[in-house]
Amino acid sequence: MDRQFNISGGHRAAGGDWYAVENPAFLTPIAEAPLTAPQALDDAVASASAALGSWAKDPMGRRNALKGCAALLASNLEDLAVLLSREQGKPLPAAKREILSAKSYLEYFADKTVHQEVILRDTNRTVVALSSPVGVVGLIVPWNFPLVLLMMKLAPALWAGNTVVVKPAPTTPLTTLAVASLFAACLPPGVLNTVTGGADVGASLVSHEGVAKISFTGSTPTGKKIMESAAQTLKRLTLELGGNDAAVVLQDADLETSAPLLFERAFMNAGQVCCAVKRLFVHRSLYEPLVEKMVAIAKHWRVGPGLNEGVQMGPLNNRQQFEHVKGLLDDAVAGGGRIVAGGDTPPDWPGHFIRPAIVVDITDSRRLVREEQFGPALPILPFDDEDEAIARANASEFGLGGSVWSRDIERATALVSRLEAVNLFVNQHATPPEPAIPFGGMKSSGFGYEFGDWGLDEFVVRKVLHSPVGGMA
C-alpha cells in the first residue's frame, strides 16, 4: 500500500508504526500514514525551533515562499483534489474549491504588507507597536476541511515569521502530508513540520515545552483539555471550537430565495461545518411552506461517493460521527420528533452515508437541538414572537454564528445583533472564509480569531517601544 510520510526538518521523517487511512464511502484503505512516536515529535519541534531565527528575520523571503506554495497548490490541484475527496468523502468539485481557497489564502498573505502603528506621539516621546513572531506554533486541525482550516492558520503563522508543527486529524492526514511534501520545495527546512496520529500525538504537542502557542480547531471537549494542559507551560492559545448556529426566519422572509440557501448552508459538506445552520427557527406562519420546500430539496439531493459525477453530498467522514448523528436522530424520534425526509442510509455503498434529514415536531430540549450535530440532520422549529426566537437561539452553550432572514434588512440587522455569537449574517449564513474578514467564536465556541487583522494578531507578540522624540522614524 502507498505510504505518505511526515516532513520534519525539510525531509521525510523516519518511519515507525503506520496505520491505514480509509475511504469513508467504501471503507477501503487508501494509503498508510505514520503514527508519530514521541522522539519524532521532539525532532519536529527541534527542527521548527532551529529554523526560527533566520525565517523570522526575512519578511520578503517569507512572502516569496508563500507565493511559491500557492503556485504549488495550483499546479497540483487535480491530484490533491482527488486525494482530498477520497480521504474526506466530499464531492470532487468541493475538494477542488477547498484547495483553490487554500491557495487564495496563501496569495493574500504573500501580498500583505504592514504599516507601523503609532500608539502615541507628543512633544517628548514616541510610542510605537512592534510585532514579533510568537515562536514555534502547533497547528491542530480537524477532518471536515483539512486544507482550508490548515491554511487559515498556516498562511498567517508563516507570514508573521513563526515556524510550525502541523497535526492533521487521524482520518484526513494524506492531503496535508502531500502538501507539506510539496511545500518543502519552497520553504526552508524546519519551517513546516508535520506529526500524525491520534489524540495522544496532539496532546504531546500541546504539552511540549518547545512550543510557544497552539492554534486549535476542533471540538469543545478537546478545546477544554488543551486549555487545561496549556496552563502548565503558559502557552498562548487560539481555540476555534464547536457551534450550534441558529438561523431565524422572520414572518416577511422571501422563502423562494431563502429556502435553497438555508438548505445549502445546513447540508454543505454533509453538515460537517462548524458554522452550518444547525437549528432553523421559523415564524409559525411560514413553518409549513418552509418545511415543504426543505423536504422537496432533500428528496432530490444527490448523495454518493465524492468522486461520482453529479454527487452533491458525500458520506460522513468517520464511523464515530455517523453513530453520533444517528444517535441524535433516534433521540429526536424517541421524543416525538418526525423525520420527514432522509435520515436513512442508502444501500448502494458500505460507507458512512446518511441522507439529508429534515426533522419536525421536535422540542428544544432534545439532543438534536441542544447538541452540535455536525452532520446532515436539521431540526426545524416554529416560533410565534421575535423575542422568543432570539431567546431560544441564545439558549445554547455555543456562540459561533447566527443569522436572521427577512425582507426588512434594517429590522433583521437589529435583531441579529442580539445573538450571542460572533459571525452574524442577514439573509446569509456561513459564507466561505475570506482572509480579510475575521472569524471567531464566543462562549463554548472558543476564543481568538482567524483571519483579518484580529486573526493576524494571534500569531504575533505585540511589543510596545517607548523612545524619546526623534528616536523613531
How far from 410 is each of 85, 240, 342, 419, 458, CA to CA, in Å? Answer: 41, 30, 36, 15, 33
| DSSP annotation of 231 | G
> Which residue has 505585540 as its cell numbers?
462
* Gap between the Cα atoms of 233 and 230, Å rounded: 6
Which of 43, 245, 372, 458 lies at the binding interface for ligand NAD (CB under 6 A)? 372
Q: List, by residue number, the catalytic residues.
A: 240, 274
Q: Does 94 bind ligand NAD (CB under 6 A)?
A: no
Least spacing, CB of residue 423 vs ligand NAD, in Å: 9
Q: Could you identify the residue written with the cell 423536504? A: 295
Q: Which is nearer to ligand NAD, 170 or 305 (CB)?
A: 170
The DSSP-derived string for 293-327 is HHHHHHHH--B--TTSTT-SB---SSHHHHHHHHH
Say whether residue 225 binds ligand NAD (CB under 6 A): yes
Give the containing element (helix H, strand E) for 29: strand 28-35
- Answer for which of 169, 316, 393, 415 binds ligand NAD (CB under 6 A) is 169
User: Which amino acid, 292?
Assistant: E
Residue 244's alpha-carbon distances to 16, 222, 370, in angstroms, are 39, 17, 8
240 binds ligand NAD (CB under 6 A): yes
| Residue 217 in contact with ligand NAD, rule: CB under 6 A | yes
Q: Which residues contact 380 (CB under 8 A, 6 or more apart)?
A: 280, 282, 287, 290, 291, 294, 358, 359, 360
Q: Which of 199, 231, 414, 469 binds ligand NAD (CB under 6 A)?
A: 199
Query: Among 218, 314, 315, 401, which residue sits at the site for ligand NAD (rule: CB under 6 A)?
Result: 218
Q: Is residue 222 part of the contact set for ligand NAD (CB under 6 A)?
A: yes
Among residue numbers 390 through 429, which ones bind ligand NAD (CB under 6 A)?
A: 400
Q: How far is the CB of 211 from ligand NAD (least distance, A)?
A: 11
User: Is residue 24 within the footprint of ligand NAD (CB under 6 A)?
Assistant: no
Position among 226, 294, 316, 339 found at the interface with ligand NAD (CB under 6 A): 226
Is 274 near ligand NAD (CB under 6 A)? yes
Q: Which of 439, 372, 437, 428 is nearest to 402 (CA)?
A: 428
159 makes contact with ligand NAD (CB under 6 A):
no
Q: Does 143 bind ligand NAD (CB under 6 A)?
A: yes
What is the per-residue binding string for ligand NAD in 425-454, x denoting contact by CB under 6 A? ----------------x---x---------
**Smallest distance, ligand NAD to C-beta of residue 126, A:** 38
The angle formed by the CA atoms of residues 143, 211 and 466, to the nearest 5 degrees, is 120
Longest Cα–Cα distance of the chain, Å, equals 78
Closest contact distance (angstroms) between CB of 269 and ligand NAD is: 10
131, 181, 219, 308: which one contacts ligand NAD (CB under 6 A)?
A: 219
Contacts of residue 198, defined as CB under 8 A and 6 or more positions apart, other chains included, come to 35, 170
Q: What is the DSSP string of 239-299?
A: EE-----EEEE-TT--HHHHHHHHHHHHHGGGG--TTS--EEEEEHHHHHHHHHHHHHHHH
- Closer to ligand NAD by Cβ: residue 239 or 360: 239
| Region from 29-37, 83-91, 236-244, 389-397 binding ligand NAD, contact rule CB under 6 A | 236-244
Applying CB under 6 A, among 198, 210, 335, 452 the residue interacting with ligand NAD is 198
Return residues touching ligand NAD (CB under 6 A). 140-144, 149, 167, 169-170, 198-199, 202-203, 206, 217-219, 222, 225-226, 240-243, 274, 372, 374, 400, 441, 445
